[in-house]
């Protein structure tokens, strides 16, 4: 089969390309490299089953051409990372909504199946845990920039499902919870690579807030396995699926575990949200997915625990020898 991945030079997109190629498929990546990197896909340059285009998914003529050549489309291109979202809300909204409009419109012309990557952020400030796909979404006020991202991704979901119901476009929505692993940058506030890079450099590990906020981290290889399996499964179109881990950890405990995995003596500092982000910034105390739906559909569960994930990230960062960025929001 032939697959098009928008955002395919990004963290998750490049791992998805790896998995699809490993399964014997053909892959074309579309990425403008605004947050992705050519280094993530360079190892495929001599693979005859792989090709790429450096351009934005906002280009309708180009997307139309690439969709025509594909059997299935994975739409992963999006604004990512808490820092980018807070600092550039216009870019966040325009990138997320407009690019999704373009992809869905072009895919609909030939009824090509589309996977839309959404996020656990759409659950917002919901308190009914674990989060179920059919649960209510509770977002914050419009003057707080962080909610622009959640709202834009929720709108992506509404639009995708509308295309399915009104125009019979084969669409699947995946709500990705915290996904981590090799190649993830800490530049935009991703907490695990940021902590690991700080620990390996012997610098203070910076935790935003008081560190009691709890998250679940899933290895990217488990996530892309779910993405691949979903698009070759019957009776999944028009549905939303949570994809993530249910192993919870507080961000402060995460900092200690990263320090231990990196064999580091870095101190751990807490930084108030108001010193790091916009006034009124809100973070959610817990975010845990209900995985019953995807487990019942695919038999899918994560295979990597947090200890193994951290060891993998530490190893890959040591090998890469990358720069250190500060962050602490998950």
DSSP one-letter string for 68-136: HT-SEEEE-----SHHHHHH-HHHHHIIIIIHHHHHHHHHHHHT--EEEEEEGGGGBT--SSSBPTTS-
The domain of 13 spans 2-179+218-243
Per-residue b or e along 152-180, where b marks 16 or more CB atoms closer than 10 Å to that residue's CB = bbbbbbebbbebbeeeebbbbbbbbbbbb
Indicate whether 48 and 78 sit together in one domain.
yes
Kindly state whether residues 79 and 129 are assigned to the same domain: yes
- Please report whether residue 330 resides in a domain: no
pLDDT of 187: 66
In whole angstroms, give the CA distance from residue 18 to residue 12. 10
Same domain, residue pair 105 and 150: yes
Q: Report the pLDDT value the prediction gives residue 81, as an integer from 0 to 100.
A: 61
As a whole number of angstroms, the distance between CA 270 and CA 210 comes to 6
**Interhelix angle 60-68/99-110, nearest 10 degrees:** 40
Mean pLDDT by 10 residues, the chain (330 residues): 98 98 98 94 97 97 98 92 68 89 98 97 95 96 84 96 98 98 80 96 94 97 98 96 98 98 97 72 88 98 97 94 47
Q: How far is CA 6 from CA 18, 28, 86, 96, in A?
A: 14, 9, 23, 12
How far apart are the C-alpha atoms of 220 and 180, rounded to whole Å? Answer: 6
296 part of a folded domain: no
2, 109, 129, 206, 296 from 312: Cα distances, Å: 30, 42, 29, 21, 29
Q: How many domains would you assign to the chain?
A: 2
Positions marked active-site: 149
Clarify whether residues 60 and 80 are in a common domain: yes
Read off the CATH number of the domain in which 208 is found: 3.90.25.10
Residue 329 domain flag: no
Tell me the three state secondary structure of residue 21: helix
């Amino acid at each position: 089969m032939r697959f098009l991945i928008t955002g395919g030079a990004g963290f998750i997109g490049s791992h998805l390309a790896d998995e699809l190629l490993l399964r014997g498929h053909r892959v074309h990546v579309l990425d403008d490299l605004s947050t992705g990197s050519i280094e993530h896909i360079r190892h495929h340059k001599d693979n005859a089953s792989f090709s790429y285009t450096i351009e934005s998914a906002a280009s309708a003529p180009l997307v139309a051409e690439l969709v025509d050549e594909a059997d299935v489309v994975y739409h992963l291109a999006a604004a990512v990372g808490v820092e980018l979202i807070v600092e550039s809300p216009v870019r966040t909204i325009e990138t997320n909504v407009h690019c999704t409009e373009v992809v869905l419109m072009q895919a609909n012309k030939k009824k090509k199946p589309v996977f839309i990557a959404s996020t656990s952020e759409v659950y917002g400030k919901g308190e009914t845990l674990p989060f179920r796909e059919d649960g209510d979404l509770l977002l914050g006020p419009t003057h707080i920039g962080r909610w622009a991202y959640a709202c834009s991704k929720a709108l992506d979901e509404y639009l995708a499902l509308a295309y399915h119901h009104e125009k019979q476009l084969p669409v699947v929505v995946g709500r990705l919870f915290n996904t981590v692993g090799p190649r993830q940058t800490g530049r935009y506030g991703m907490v695990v690579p940021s902590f690991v890079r700080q620990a390996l450099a012997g610098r203070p590990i910076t935790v935003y807030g008081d560190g009691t906020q709890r998250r679940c981290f899933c290895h990217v290889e488990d996530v892309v396995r779910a993405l691949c399996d979903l698009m070759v499964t019957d009776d999944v179109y028009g549905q939303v699926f949570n994809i993530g881990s249910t192993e919870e950890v507080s961000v402060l405990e995460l900092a200690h575990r990263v320090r231990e995995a990196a064999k580091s003596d870095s101190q751990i500092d807490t930084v108030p949200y108001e010193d790091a982000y916009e006034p009124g910034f809100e973070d959610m105390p817990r975010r845990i997915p209900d995985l019953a739906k995807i487990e019942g559909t695919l038999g899918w569960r994560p295979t990597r625990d947090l200890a193994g994930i951290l060891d993998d990230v530490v190893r890959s960062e040591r090998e890469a020898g990358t720069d250190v960025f500060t962050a602490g929001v998950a």
